Chain A
Amino acid sequence: MKKYLSILHDYESGDFFEPGVSKMPNLDLQRKAIDVLLQKRDARQVQEFKTSVDQRFSTKDVIFETDQFSGIVFFSAESLRTKNREIDLKLFNSLYEEFAEIFIIIESISIENEQEFLSVSKRFISLNYCVQRDASDEWKDLVSQVTIGSINQ
């Protein structure tokens, strides 16, 4: 039977920043979702870790013996995000060095080979590029200067 490390995310209370999402899943609901995945994969959880905005995650927190785990299951990619909303690519890369399988339930991400890892890594790189650009003063200046009409007509 495979053994997984599961990572929950303790969302901040109050309204979630995303419209249409009134309440983020609590830890019990997250555990249930992870259980479903474990059952489908005939696996069991051997350790659980919780992240939050203030509690980051590092492989150093949990890796005692590398072969202890077959894989790692995240409830959400929130656990991989930095405070500025980028995906922590160094952490993600280190996960693949330590775990043969990586799953992220909410984002429907499943990594079981190098090709899948590369594909997801590149997606994260493009996402981070957008996050950095959208937060930059240069981008805000550009948006404020340009109107749709002036470009297209």
Chain B
Amino acid sequence: MNSTFSKNGFEIIKADDLPALNELQKHVRDISYKLIGTETSENIIGDLNSLHKAFKSPEDANTFRLKLTSQLSSQVDVGTKVFEIFRSKLEPLVGPDILVQKTPNLVFQPPEYPIPTELHRDAPANSPYEVIVWLPFVDCFNTKSMYVLDREHSQIAAEHIKQNPDDKNGFDEILLAHAALMEVPFGSALIFWSGLFHGSIVNKEGESRLSLNIRYKNLFSPAGMKDQLRYFNILQTSQLTDLGLDFQYREQFR
């Protein structure tokens, strides 16, 4: 079960429920095109690939992204929807008692957009017991995608920073040698562990990348430095956990 994930810290997984993902993609496209005031076509993925044509500046694109995030989150329970679409792979990782990030992050990366996602890893400060689902709404390949350092090389890179905090060149060498751009077609998602270094570079593929990322972890996992009350909601609990929490509540208050 998830042996690739265990070894590398990441895995590209196919949707269990492709019709539900198609529906989510259409919803994202419809909101996007309403926001930019343009008629949609029959080709949903084509519409999303062309989104960049509506924007004159990175600032405009970012304003659009924020509005899209807000509208999508208010119209769709994205955390539950994404979990259901990929349940067979996610539930064995996080267990039956699940916290989900309150608001998903939507990322819009037009071609030549000068501000890619900087190299970073989520944990710390996030919990090292989190899994991130990176879900593209278009086909992502080469520079249109994101890169990841696998578990082994993330560990090497982390050690390098620890031992040589000022050696940026050495760190970049590790990155250049081992970071892999992920090929994630629409219909799949990249899931990765919060301890992996990841980021993106300038998109040179001539098409827009629109993706979301959202985090899941076990209700009883260590919180890291991010307050779980502020950043996470309960997505589901097992029957056994329900009994245990009910028991504890009665012991304390009744």
Chain A residues whose C-beta falls within 8 Å of the C-beta of B198 in the assembled complex: none
Chain B residues whose C-beta falls within 8 Å of the C-beta of A127 in the assembled complex: 223, 228-229
Residues of A within 8 A of B (CB): 17-20, 77, 89, 93, 106-109, 118, 121-123, 125-127, 129-131, 133-134, 148, 152-153
> Smallest CB–CB gap between B74 and chain A, Å?
13
Asked whether, in the complex, the Cβ of B225 is within 8 Å of the Cβ of A17, the reply is yes
User: Is B245 at the interface (CB under 8 A from chain A)?
Assistant: yes
Asked whether, in the complex, the Cβ of A152 is within 8 Å of the Cβ of B6, the reply is yes
For the residues of A in contact with B, the DSSP-based class is helix
In Å, the complex CA distance between A89 and B253 comes to 9
In Å, the complex CA distance between A125 and B242 comes to 12
Would A20 and B221 be within 8 Å (CB), given that A106-B230, A118-B249, A121-B249 are in contact? no
- Total contacts A to B, CB within 8 angstroms? 52
Residues of B within 8 A of A (CB): 6, 102, 124-125, 219-223, 225-230, 234, 241, 245-246, 248-249, 252-253
Asked whether, in the complex, the Cβ of B220 is within 8 Å of the Cβ of A125, the reply is no
In Å, the complex CA distance between A152 and B219 comes to 21
Asked whether, in the complex, the Cβ of A130 is within 8 Å of the Cβ of B222, the reply is yes
A123 closest partner in B (C-beta)? B234
> Smallest CB–CB gap between A135 and chain B, Å?
10
- Find B249's partner among A107, A109, A122 (CB 8 Å cutoff): A122
Asked whether, in the complex, the Cβ of A107 is within 8 Å of the Cβ of B219, the reply is no
A-B residue pairs, 10 tightest by C-beta:
A122-B245, A19-B125, A107-B229, A152-B6, A134-B222, A125-B248, A93-B253, A18-B225, A77-B229, A126-B219
B3 closest partner in A (C-beta)? A152
21 contacts between A and B (CB under 8 A): A18-B125, A18-B227, A19-B125, A19-B225, A108-B102, A118-B249, A121-B253, A122-B246, A122-B249, A123-B234, A125-B248, A125-B249, A125-B252, A126-B220, A126-B245, A130-B222, A130-B223, A130-B228, A131-B223, A133-B222, A152-B6
Chain A residues whose C-beta falls within 8 Å of the C-beta of B253 in the assembled complex: 89, 93, 121
In Å, the complex CA distance between A89 and B249 comes to 10
In Å, the complex CA distance between A62 and B102 comes to 33
Given contacts A122-B246, A127-B223, A127-B228, 17 further A-B contacts (CB under 8 A): A17-B225, A18-B227, A19-B225, A20-B125, A89-B252, A89-B253, A107-B229, A107-B230, A121-B249, A125-B245, A126-B241, A130-B220, A130-B221, A130-B222, A130-B228, A134-B223, A152-B6
In Å, the complex CA distance between A126 and B233 comes to 13
In Å, the complex CA distance between A122 and B1 comes to 31
In Å, the complex CA distance between A81 and B102 comes to 21
> Smallest CB–CB gap between A91 and chain B, Å?
12
Chain B residues whose C-beta falls within 8 Å of the C-beta of A122 in the assembled complex: 245-246, 248-249
In Å, the complex CA distance between A122 and B6 comes to 32
Chain A residues whose C-beta falls within 8 Å of the C-beta of B248 in the assembled complex: 122, 125
Chain A residues whose C-beta falls within 8 Å of the C-beta of B125 in the assembled complex: 18-20
Chain A residues whose C-beta falls within 8 Å of the C-beta of B124 in the assembled complex: 19
Chain A residues whose C-beta falls within 8 Å of the C-beta of B226 in the assembled complex: 18
A152 closest partner in B (C-beta)? B6
